[in-house]
């Protein structure tokens, strides 16, 4: 192959990988903005909104490590094509869904495809570019992934303004088709070596997915069924048992999807606990803030998408700089102080009222939160990977999976708390008030959609005002509770960083991990690249 042809292959491969992972990131942020619109169209209340998000995160988080193993066994090019094609097909199924149940099932299939797509897109870059060119290539992959995350809320808000929510999913189909064509055209079949002799941990994958599904189902459905229902405590107990079985199996498996030996390293264990706390808080904030701004604050989907843009802008500007500082002074300081600063930002959301003022209430909280997040993500990812050079790929994959599972469990658990607080607050505010049958029915309907305005059409004016006012105040109370829990989780992450992290004696190259887990799978390559730079300085 001539040098010109080789350069063309590299360029088109990078474009295909950026497009493939970008579809996943674009879809995730678009769907969050579209949740209130989907709820109005298909019903189901807040539980349905949670399932639309968590159905995807459940399969993605539990299978992403298996996705990387399948790429090793069958070849990243082949798995990449299957993942992208599967994501496009599942997106079409989402767009055509006639009911909320079908939509949730299609979202779960999207998660399966994403678990194949994301690891294989990075692996294709690693296998196509020589070592000295991988750093810039992965940097471009990371940067464009972050850009896709930024464009998601904006594109989603605009699409919802001019078309149906179904277009939010349909837009993935031509993008996926173009990506498949690029992969088949640009990435030679022999560009990725297929490695035989490895076994895939299917048993571990099933135990992990089923174990996570149990508590997620219980937490989402608890407000509707109650803790005393077998439909809640049964899945909760079964999930706990299956997760215990998963841990036991992984400790004995010859080729586990989750090598438990990694957790013997202090920084790896503490870093992943902090990852769980930080990314649970992050997911909780974005999930409930978008719902509150649209359903209570009266924001359009586009405005609610634009509202969170400052977090991404601050991350773009500051993350790499804090990564460089962490390389100089060690990650412990930043992993301790950063989450505490972010928790202060989350605490500032307690100032939000029913008449949301963006400049004075939302923006300051987001800026402080973004500052703390920027201080944390690069040092956190680098600290997790430091000392794992020989197993950097799996260490990175585990950290990514934990970040996804944190969002899954965080939104499910806090969703249960928010729903319970809303119901209790609504009942207490209307206690002793004589309401007609229609008003009581409106109250019952309102309890299925915390952080929402009840439908009071047809009620007498006095009762309509009472029910609406009580529901708004209950929504504000429950939103404050949800964000307070997120603040506590993030603060705990900071305490773990202070107490658990030790500054490593080797270069961790935090500057090269600026995106953290916000852009798919963090790369093992920065460690190798930085090690080469370090050796050249000696």
Please report the pLDDT score of residue 532 as a whole number. 36
For residue 115, tell me if it sits in a domain: yes
Please report the pLDDT score of residue 158 as a whole number. 76
For residue 78, tell me if it sits in a domain: yes
Residues 271 and 402 in one domain: yes
Q: Are 334 and 269 in contact (CB under 8 A)?
A: no
Residues 122 and 101 in one domain: yes
Of 264, 360, 331, 335, nearest to 491 (Cα)? 335
Residues 183 and 250 in one domain: no
Residues 147 and 211 in one domain: no
Three-state DSSP state, 466: helix
Residues 132 and 238 in one domain: no
Q: Which of 163, 188, 213 is the last residue of a domain?
A: 188
Going from the C-alpha of 455 to that of each of 49, 288, 458, 467, the distances in angstroms are 18, 20, 9, 9
pLDDT in tens, the chain (538 residues): 566 667 888 888 888 888 888 888 888 778 888 899 999 899 888 889 999 999 998 998 888 888 877 877 777 888 899 999 999 999 999 999 999 999 999 999 999 999 888 888 877 887 788 877 776 777 677 667 767 766 777 777 777 878 889 998 999 999 999 999 999 988 877 544 445 556 788 898 899 999 999 999 999 888 888 888 999 999 999 999 999 999 999 999 888 888 888 888 888 899 999 999 999 999 999 999 999 999 999 998 888 888 988 988 888 788 778 888 888 888 889 999 999 999 999 999 999 998 899 999 999 999 999 999 989 988 887 787 776 555 666 777 788 888 889 989 999 999 999 999 999 999 898 887 888 888 888 888 888 888 888 888 888 888 888 888 999 999 999 999 999 999 999 999 999 999 988 886 655 555 555 556 555 444 444 444 443 333 333 3
The CATH number for 5's domain is 1.20.1250.20
Residues 236 and 363 in one domain: no
**How many residues are present in the chain?**
538
Question: CB atoms < 10 A from the CB of 4, how many?
Answer: 8
For residue 464, tell me if it sits in a domain: no
The residues, ordered by sequence, that sit 6+ positions from 28 with a Cβ below 8 Å of its Cβ are: 56, 149, 152
Number of domains in the chain: 3
Q: Which of 141, 157, 188 is the last residue of a domain?
A: 188
For residue 259, tell me if it sits in a domain: no
Domain that holds residue 385: 266-415+486-538
For tokens 């009942």, name the residue: 427
Please report the pLDDT score of residue 531 as a whole number. 36
For residue 261, tell me if it sits in a domain: no
Residues 235 and 133 in one domain: no
**CA dist., res. 365 & res. 315, Å (int):** 15
Residues 61 and 142 in one domain: yes
Residues 406 and 338 in one domain: yes
For residue 478, tell me if it sits in a domain: no
Q: Which long-range contacts (CB under 8 A, 24 or more apart) does 400-403 make?
A: 400/64, 400/517, 400/520, 400/521, 400/522, 401/61, 401/62, 401/64, 401/65, 402/272, 402/275, 402/276, 402/279, 403/275, 403/276, 403/279, 403/517
Please spell the DSSP secondary structure of 207-245, one letter per residue. Answer: HHHHHHHHHHHHHHHHHHH-TTSHHHHHHHHHHHHHHHH
Residues 49 and 157 in one domain: yes
For residue 134, tell me if it sits in a domain: yes
Residues 276 and 302 in one domain: yes
For residue 122, tell me if it sits in a domain: yes
């Amino acid at each position: 192959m001539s040098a010109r042809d080789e350069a063309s292959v590299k360029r088109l491969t990078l474009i295909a990988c950026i497009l493939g992972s970008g579809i996943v990131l674009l879809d995730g942020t678009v769907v969050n903005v579209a949740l209130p619109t989907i709820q109005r169209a298909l019903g189901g209340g807040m539980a349905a909104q949670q399932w639309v998000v968590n159905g995807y995160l459940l399969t993605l988080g539990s299978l992403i490590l298996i996705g990387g193993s399948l790429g090793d066994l069958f070849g990243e090019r082949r798995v990449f094509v299957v993942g992208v094609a599967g994501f496009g097909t599942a997106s079409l199924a989402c767009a055509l869904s006639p009911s909320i149940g079908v939509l949730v099932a299609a979202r779960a299939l999207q998660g399966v495809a994403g678990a194949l797509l994301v690891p294989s897109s990075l692996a294709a870059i690693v296998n196509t570019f020589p070592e000295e060119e991988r750093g810039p290539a992965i940097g471009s992959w990371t940067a464009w992934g972050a850009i896709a995350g930024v464009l998601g809320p904006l594109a989603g808000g605009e699409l919802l303004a001019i078309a149906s929510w179904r277009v939010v999913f349909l837009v993935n189909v031509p993008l996926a088709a173009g990506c498949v064509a690029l992969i088949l055209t640009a990435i030679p079949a022999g560009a990725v070596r297929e490695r035989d002799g490895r076994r895939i941990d299917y048993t571990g994958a099933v135990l992990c997915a089923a174990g996570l599904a149990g508590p997620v189902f219980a937490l989402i459905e608890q407000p509707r069924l109650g803790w005393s229902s077998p439909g809640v405590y049964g899945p909760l107990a079964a999930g706990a048992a299956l997760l215990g079985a998963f841990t036991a199996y992984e400790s004995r498996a010859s080729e586990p999807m989750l090598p438990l030996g990694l957790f013997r390293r202090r920084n790896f264990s503490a870093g992943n606990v902090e990852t769980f706390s930080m990314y649970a808080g992050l997911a909780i904030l974005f999930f409930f803030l978008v719902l509150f701004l649209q359903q209570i604050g009266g924001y359009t989907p586009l405005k609610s998408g634009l509202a969170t843009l400052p977090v991404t802008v601050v991350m773009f500007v500051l993350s790499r700089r804090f990564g460089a500082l962490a390389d100089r002074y060690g990650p412990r300081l930043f992993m301790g102080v950063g989450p505490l600063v972010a928790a202060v930002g989350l605490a500032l959301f307690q100032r939000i009222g029913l008449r949301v003022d963006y400049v004075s209430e939302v923006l300051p909280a987001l800026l402080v939160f973004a500052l703390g997040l920027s201080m944390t993500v690069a040092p956190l990812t680098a600290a997790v990977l430091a000392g794992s050079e020989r197993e950097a790929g799996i260490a990175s994959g585990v950290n990514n999976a934990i970040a996804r599972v944190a969002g899954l469990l965080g939104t499910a658990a806090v969703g249960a708390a928010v729903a319970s607080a809303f119901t209790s607050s609504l009942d207490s505010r209307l206690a002793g008030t004589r309401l007609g049958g229609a008003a009581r029915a409106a109250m019952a309907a309102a309890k299925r959609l915390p952080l929402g305005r009840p439908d009071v059409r047809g009620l007498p004016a006095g009762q309509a005002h009472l029910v609406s006012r009580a529901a708004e105040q209950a929504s504000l109370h429950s939103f404050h509770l949800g964000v307070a829990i997120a603040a506590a989780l993030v603060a705990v992450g900071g305490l773990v960083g202070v107490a658990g992290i030790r500054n490593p004696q080797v270069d961790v190259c935090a500057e090269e991990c600026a995106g953290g887990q916000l852009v798919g799978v963090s790369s093992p390559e920065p460690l190798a690249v930085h090690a080469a730079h370090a050796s050249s300085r000696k």
